[in-house]
Structure 1
Amino acid sequence: MVSASPLLHEVLLAPVASTPHRPAVIEFLGDDRLRTVSYRELGALVDSFAASLTAAGLGVGDRVVLESDTSAAAIAALLACSSLGLPFVPVSPEAPDERVRAVVAATGPRLYLRAAEGFREGVRGDFGIGRFGQDGLRIVREPAAGTIRHRRELTATDTAYLIFTSGSTGRPKGVVMSHGAVTSFYRGMYTQRIVGGRDRVATTSPLQFDFSLLDIGLALGSGAAVVPVPRPLLRWPRRFLRVLRDTGATQVNGVPSIWRQVLRYEADRLAGIDTIRGVLFCGEDFPLPELRRLRAALPAARLVNCYGATESMACSFTDVPDPLPDDLERLSIGAAHPGAEMILVDAAGRPFLRTGEVGEIHLRSPALFSGYWDDPAATSAALVPDPVEPRSGQRVLRTGDLAYRGENGELYFTGRADSQVQFRGNRVELGEVERRLLECEGITAATVLVLPRPAGPELCAFVVAGPQAREGTLLDGLSARLARVLPSYMVPGELRLLTGLPTTENGKVDRAALAREAGPLPV
């Protein structure tokens, strides 16, 4: 039975009391070795971590940066933070120093926790430093003295975590999620009965990506086990499949691109893993030819198309048709999960029910984010008055996603109304990449597009440089510069030097012309 608590840790740790001996986390260690952490052991680790955090003087509202990949210890750390009312801010071990510095500067954490030994030399501040793992949580440097405590009790409206995504202004944008919002989403997700208590849920997303928190919540809130797939192994289809086989994974969640190499080179090996009963994907379109190959390899598996934004974690779960119709052109994103509603709004801000007409999705839900951290203007632009009844004072999420309604009321996503894209499961503001390019010496203009390529969509940058720039040296230097300031998924895979950017009649960059000029690369 799902906990009715509005607090994140209480929902996810409910099985500690009901099924303490069942596995909560199953870690693949390599060389035929697994480490299984039971719910009882996970609960004990959470209590141990919470005691260390309390002893360090942290209290309700103090923010904690959590640098780690997904693991039993990382899950325990975020649940310990939750139990004390400490908003956690996950960052990736792979993130460049400049990116982490921006997150630290924005949030002002009391403590920086890291799973790895040592510390990032390029990230400094008066915060405390701690290290955690299966053996416990140790404070290496005490946090600076706190201010007067105005808070004592944790409430459902308090912040559970901040997820930083790409921002159009050139700096990361922090999405603030409350305990009540997260647990409301989880309860809506549990109505879909995607997994049960005996399942093992393979999670492939980095901890800093909210999809990982969906996976953790799906598994633990259902009494199932989380199976973190080591990030480096995702690049090697045979090793990825070995993790799934050795851990007995029954449910595999991730962005569609995690399957591309598997389906190309190891489809028969995938078909031989008979434990997989479900696949949930989110974050980008699943190319239909690849989806058909996945269905052929896993004919008995339930395939679920998950749609949503970081500002609500997600909002719909739609089963992929079985069989896939031959004339299918686009997957449906269905309707919102119980307790939420998606409506379409036209360019004048009016809701409509007409079939086949494209509008912008607005989401009404108790699972909406509180706002963007320290950015009231962006918050006001996203949380807008209810278009159905603006006088009510109710706010809905203006998603920026475009869709049309099918004959049976289902929705079909068609793209974005702005420069934001979903790329390899991550939200990317193309404007942020363009601004970083313009910061590079010698670059006078830049435009970034997502273009189709044989191995999957790719970020392509078109740049204009001053007359003194040499193409080879400039482009090589650009890639190195961007890798120092942007996550790897935001560094363009293609860089093209042009003498000028084509423009439309009204003077804007002609993105369609750039796409035509780039053309498809040969297979």
Structure 2
Amino acid sequence: MDGNLVQHYLHSLSVSPDKVACTDGRRSITYSELADRSSRLASLLRQYGVRPQDRVAVCLSRSVDFLPAILGILQADAAYVPFDPKSPQERWRKIVDDCAPTALLCDRQTILPLVSAVKSSIPRIFLGPRCELPLAGAEAAATLEDILASPVRSPRYSNGPDDLAYVLYTSGSTGTPKGVMVTHRNICNYIDWAVEYFSINNEDRILGTAPFHFDMSTFDLWCPIKAGATLCLADNSLTLFPEKLLGFMESEQVTIWKGISSLLFYMDRAGVIAPGRISTLSRVLFGGDALPARTLIRWMEAFPSKSFYNVYGPTEATGISLCYPVKSIPQDPGERIPIGCSCKGMKAELLDENLIPVPNGMVGELYLSGPGLGKGYLNDTERTARAFFTVRTPGVPAETWYHTGDLGLRRGDGSFEFVGRKDQQVKIMGYRIELGEIEQALRAIDGVREAAVVTAHRGGIEELVAFIEGKKGTDLPFILARLRDRLPGYMMPRRLLPLADLPRCGRGKINRAALRELAMESKYADR
């Protein structure tokens, strides 16, 4: 590709200027308004010193304002860094210290928490009108009035395909979030393939349920722009109430949805899946974690005319790396649903510990290569060197590979199956979580001598269970409160169980298998 992400898709903004680009159920923004607002924001950001390849933090509640925000940042030749607006301030500080943003975009819900979390020297751009600023304690360098007063200029871009487009922060085993760097080329390669493969066009209405700081949102945000389609943003609260989410999908006449597997599970368990519902929905993509086959069976039996795809891809590879179109209803409720074969331009291999390919049917670690691979981790060359390596063969272009840490096997038909993890990383509700980060946060709390976190299956889903070693009478509510100050909600253990001593193996290591058994015992099940 030539140029950058905005240049690549800029024509889409002017093809149907009056078409709705995004709606959140309360407000909508057309393609002409999107082009105008993002161009003015780019001019304002440049006035505040934003330069090519600077990072601009985005901490916004879930609304149509997010799309012009990231487009404006990219038109200013900068890279966007989405924050989780529900994360504790300590986590924000760590991310700000790492990415060093030149500016920060916020709204009425996020500006006050950011005042105490982020140093005042970073300009805060408030995306609402001046009258909505809190009366005390929150100052903004600029507001919506300043954005609208900024000029619309023909953009002159300096960023190229291999420059940074965004940084997404994921859980880190050391207790510090790690920033995954993704380029313009990475996104364009992914979105161009996705729009073609899933036959997305300007008549489609794409449901967005993934949080903006989560890699699954890349599909939601950029496929509509590429295809000239409409993004229908579901409010966070809708994902907690399956019937309301289904109602939103019906009222917005959603045609395609890329959702977290666990959300499909919850909707099935809530009993809202029934023939005749969501009639406009034609394509369902699920991923982020493993979907039980019995759940997929019920979805496919209820909606035999819809197409279902199991998709796989780590944050480091931008989006979907492997895809499996489910052609028929699974026969066995206990079988594993394949994650499929590599997508256009991507390569996947299963290797053993000596980096030698394993035969079909044997378990190996999954390695990925291709144009979807990001640039590694921001400000962490050591971690990048451990996760990525380059293969150089005379007469052949060098190839960079990423070892995912996921274990899998290849079936006879060439498709891959996900088997599990090689390390202490897990996925809960689609979020990639390092158990070590939770343990580090627990150990930092007064009264906790040692901590270990495991996963346990209950009610058909996986949940986090934390065990702590401490004095008798440990104040569990206090520990949970301190933990909420340090971790985002999706990393909070469902249960916190005190033990006098954590079980250990012969060499003194914590016996995690024994803890998993304890987590499943009835006397601990409902704590």
CA pair 236-339 structure 1, distance change in 2 beyond 3 A? same
Secondary structure class of the residue paired with 1:85: coil
- Cα separation, 1, equivalents of 2:167 and 2:373: 13
After TM superposition, the structure 1 stretch with the greater mean CA deviation from structure 2, 161-170 or 321-330, is: 321-330
The Cα shift of 1:425 comes to 0.9
Q: Deviations over 1:214-252 (max 9, x none)?
A: 221222222211111000121112221221111111112
- Cα separation, 2, equivalents of 1:6 and 1:427: 32
TM-score by length of 1: 0.90
CA pair 191-95 structure 1, distance change in 2 beyond 3 A? same
Contact 2:167 2:179 in 1 (8 A): yes
Q: Deviations over 1:316-371 (max 9, x none)?
A: 2211232222366101111110111101111112234x111111111111121112
- Cα separation, 2, equivalents of 1:188 and 1:106: 32
Corresponding residue of 1:147: none
CA pair 119-482 structure 1, distance change in 2 beyond 3 A? same
- Cα separation, 2, equivalents of 1:259 and 1:332: 17
Contact 1:362 1:399 in 2 (8 A): yes
Contact 2:107 2:126 in 1 (8 A): yes
Corresponding residue of 1:479: 480
Contact 2:49 2:102 in 1 (8 A): no
Which of 318, 326, 332 matches 2:332? 326
The Cα shift of 1:423 comes to 1.0
Matched, 1:336 2:342: yes
Amino acid aligned to 2:112: F
Corresponding residue of 1:493: 494
Contact 1:74 1:115 in 2 (8 A): no
- Cα separation, 2, equivalents of 1:66 and 1:252: 24
Q: Deviations over 1:52-104 (max 9, x none)?
A: 22232322122111001443221111011111211111002111111111111
Secondary structure class of the residue paired with 2:342: coil
Which of 372, 397, 408 matches 2:377? 372
Matches within 5 A, 1:144-183: 153-183=158-188
Amino acid aligned to 1:7: N
CA pair 299-415 structure 1, distance change in 2 beyond 3 A? same
Corresponding residue of 2:99: 107
Contact 1:61 1:159 in 2 (8 A): yes
Secondary structure class of the residue paired with 1:351: coil
Matched, 1:78 2:75: no
- Cα separation, 1, equivalents of 2:336 and 2:171: 27
CA pair 59-192 structure 1, distance change in 2 beyond 3 A? same
Matched, 1:513 2:514: yes
Contact 2:297 2:333 in 1 (8 A): no
Q: Deviations over 1:367-414 (max 9, x none)?
A: 211121111110000111339889965321111111111001111111
- Cα separation, 2, equivalents of 1:14 and 1:243: 30
- Cα separation, 1, equivalents of 2:468 and 2:84: 29
- Cα separation, 1, equivalents of 2:62 and 2:395: 41
Corresponding residue of 1:15: 12
Secondary structure class of the residue paired with 1:244: helix
Which of 118, 122, 130 matches 1:124? 118
CA pair 387-56 structure 1, distance change in 2 beyond 3 A? closer
- Cα separation, 2, equivalents of 1:122 and 1:227: 33
Which of 424, 429, 436 matches 1:419? 424
The Cα shift of 1:478 comes to 1.6
Contact 1:49 1:77 in 2 (8 A): yes
Gap runs ≥5 in structure 2 = 134-138, 143-155
Corresponding residue of 1:40: 32
The Cα shift of 1:115 comes to 2.5
The Cα shift of 1:21 comes to 3.3
Q: Deviations over 1:287-341 (max 9, x none)?
A: 2222222223322211111101000123122112322223661011111101111
The Cα shift of 1:156 comes to 1.5
CA pair 350-127 structure 1, distance change in 2 beyond 3 A? same
After TM superposition, the structure 1 stretch with the greater mean CA deviation from structure 2, 281-290 or 10-19, is: 10-19
Contact 1:25 1:37 in 2 (8 A): yes
- Cα separation, 1, equivalents of 2:304 and 2:386: 44
After TM superposition, the structure 1 stretch with the greater mean CA deviation from structure 2, 400-409 or 389-398, is: 389-398
- Cα separation, 1, equivalents of 2:25 and 2:130: 18
Corresponding residue of 1:470: 473
Which of 43, 46, 51 matches 1:54? 46
Secondary structure class of the residue paired with 1:508: coil
- Cα separation, 2, equivalents of 1:5 and 1:237: 43
Secondary structure class of the residue paired with 1:401: strand
The Cα shift of 1:13 comes to 3.6
TM-score by length of 2: 0.89
Secondary structure class of the residue paired with 2:185: helix
- Cα separation, 1, equivalents of 2:393 and 2:361: 20
Q: Deviations over 1:113-155 (max 9, x none)?
A: 112254323213211111115999999227xxxxxxxx98211
- Cα separation, 2, equivalents of 1:512 and 1:261: 27
Amino acid aligned to 1:132: L
CA pair 514-321 structure 1, distance change in 2 beyond 3 A? farther
Contact 2:174 2:437 in 1 (8 A): yes
Corresponding residue of 1:282: 287
- Cα separation, 2, equivalents of 1:250 and 1:355: 37
CA pair 40-320 structure 1, distance change in 2 beyond 3 A? same
- Cα separation, 2, equivalents of 1:180 and 1:137: 38
Contact 2:503 2:511 in 1 (8 A): yes
Which of 19, 24, 27 matches 2:24? 27
